Amino acid sequence: MPVLTRRWLQWPKLRTARARPSLGASAEGCPDIGFLADDDRHFELFAGWLHAQWSVPRGESLETRRLALRAQMRVDRLPVALTAYWQGSPAGIVSLRRHDLQTRLRVGPWLSALYVDEAMRGRGIGRALVDATLRLAAWLDHPEVWLFTTDRATFYEQLGWERMPPNPEERRQIPEPEVFRHPTGV
């Protein structure tokens, strides 16, 4: 097995009752996607990225972010975190969670907290994490995945996500969340 192929297979894994989904193997010019639960060597880096991007603006502590991320260290049920590596270096992270938007508690699961390191952007890592999240959701028997964004709507539209009309509660939020959904093929 080449060194860059399925980096996460080199590390201890949580056991599941069934074969795991194919999330993306590293090849030249492609990110390597795996479960945070399988390789937590860079846990603090990932927590720091998410804390700086979303927790600091909300006034949440780094410890709160760590606890939330630690709860996503699983492979066969929600919430779960996926990580991306580029040529062996940590490159990005994303979560699949049961809920992410208080105005839409009846739908889900939700692609959440997609983050790609600034130095790694423009290489298709975000796209690969989104694709892997959809495959994971299908493996977990979810027919669709939802997300919201306040600043990346064009990115998700380019990936084929369907924009959903805002509900009255969302229209009152500042900034207004843009809600999307995507079928998984289940």
Q: pLDDT tens-digit profile of 32-62?
A: 999 999 999 999 999 999 999 999 988 999 9
CATH code: domain of residue 77: 3.40.630.30
Q: How many domains does the chain have?
A: 1
Residue 133 belongs to some domain of the structure: yes
The pTM score is: 0.88
With both helix axes pointing from N to C terminus, report the angle between 43-50 and 62-70 in degrees, rounded to the nearest 10: 120
Residue 157 belongs to a domain: yes
- Is residue 64 included in any domain, yes or no? yes
> Is residue 75 in some structural domain?
yes
Give me the pLDDT at residue 1, please. 30
pLDDT at 20: 77
Q: Give the pLDDT confidence of 107-149 residue by residue, as tens digits.
A: 999 999 999 999 999 999 999 999 999 999 999 999 999 999 9
Domain assignment present for residue 1? The answer is no
Residue 7 lies in a domain: no
Residue 17 forms part of a structural domain: no
Range of the domain at 168: 23-183
Please report whether residue 57 resides in a domain: yes
Predicted confidence (pLDDT) at residue 6 exceeds the cutoff of 50:
no
